Amino acid sequence: MALLRPHLHRFHSNALHQSAPHTKSTADAGGGLVVYPTYGRRRRHRCSAIAIDAPSSLAGVTPIRWGYTSVQGFREEMEDDIVIRSEALDSFSFAAVFDGHAGSSSVKFLREELYKGCVEALQVGSLLKGGDFGAIKGALVKAFESVDQNLLKWLETKGEEDESGSTATVMLIRNDVSYFAHIGDSCAVLSRSGQIEELTDSHRPYGSSKAAVQEMKRIKDAGGWIVNGRICGDIAVSRAFGDIRFKTKKHEMLKKGVDEGRWSEKFVSRIEFKGDMVVATPDIYQVPLTSDVEFIILASDGLWDYMKSKDVVSFVREQLREHGNLACEALAQVALDRRSEDNISIIIADLGRTEWKKLPVQRQNMVVELVQAAATVGIVTVGIWMTSLLS
């Protein structure tokens, strides 16, 4: 990963309907929303803003309010990106968080190409409107894998060694239903009347979760190996776009490893690849959005590695109750204050169903409060007793 810098670059939150410099936030000819940061000369500066979808054609349906931020943190290079678009998928909006690694080339490619690939595969929204989950799942898997093949070809033709890659968590959302296509270790979390639902699993080659065990088995079945939670001792994510050395350049990777002294000729001679160690095949989920669903958060691991899902949801709900805003940048700052050194990208979709000003103040569980109170009394009692012994 990149070296750390003792500062961070970001843009402060902007007023409603506005966007920060180096951020695209426009309406298309049909009134749809288009939001994504742009790479310019000041590539380290990112954005934080709020936008609202165009009013729905469905009577009585409240438009989704979007909050988003992308903060570089202490990385040498900004490798995250976010995209929000609602102009080409009928009544659905498209939102995506990308978390790049080994450079930003793959992310720059994906920010346009993945959206276009999904629109084409979904037949400009007609499959989404039809609601056939099997057809939707097949289309999204095809889109992800096809875009990855195009990315690999593009990386090969760049004329320079580019080992970049990127995770992607994509949400396709309408007021009553959402679909998720996910690869990597970003995460989507839903708030249902304040109760959290983690909608995605992290694709990492370590841990004891069902998803991790499945990933480790797949990697080993493909002829790969895992060292200290990293594929071939290198990368700590098992599904991603790009990462050409684990796909079409696997044998070149082995030769380079021998040249650099990372492994021996004898070791390499025993390796027999039977598949790709890193894949871009997404997990696909369908999530009905019942009346008790408040908002959905998509974010890169720069947030989730330093904050628990329940703490994130509680923070967002309290900010909405107190201030009426989605406070994405304030949320990112909490992660930074907790020593997150990664890029942090966050998208929040508020479904507009909750009267936040009327929401009661959140209180801890009574049992938790009693345990905490008892612990405090116990500590004070022990302190008084020790003081009396010493006096």
**Domain assignments of the chain as residue spans, ordered by start:** 23-203+279-358, 213-238+244-269
> Would the pLDDT of 2 be above 50?
no
Q: 284: closest CA among 179, 190, 211, 212? A: 179
Residue 224 backbone dihedrals phi, psi, to 5 degrees? -90, 180
Tell me what pLDDT residue 334 has: 95
Residues 232/277, Cβ–Cβ less than 8 Å: yes
The domain made up of 23-203+279-358 has a fold known as Phosphatase 2c; domain 1 (3.60.40)
Q: Tens digit of pLDDT for each residue in 33-43?
A: 666 554 433 33
Could you tell me the CA-to-CA distances from 340 to 39, 97, 130, 366, 387 in Å, in that order? 23, 18, 42, 31, 40
> Would the pLDDT of 218 be above 50?
yes
Tell me what pLDDT residue 27 has: 43
Alpha-carbon span 77 to 304, nearest angstrom:
20
C-beta atoms surrounding 313 within 10 Å: 22
For the chain, how far is it from start to end, CA to CA, in angstroms? Answer: 56
> Would the pLDDT of 333 be above 50?
yes
Q: 342: closest CA among 62, 57, 115, 4? A: 4
Tell me what pLDDT residue 36 has: 58
Tell me what pLDDT residue 368 has: 44
What global pTM score does this model have?
0.82
Tell me what pLDDT residue 346 has: 97
Average pLDDT over residues 266-288: 97
**Residue-wise burial string across 329-344, b where 16 or more C-beta atoms lie within 10 A, e elsewhere:** bbbbbbbbeeebbbbb
* Residue 86 banded pLDDT, cuts 50, 70, 90: confident
Average pLDDT over residues 300-321: 96
Average pLDDT over residues 133-143: 98
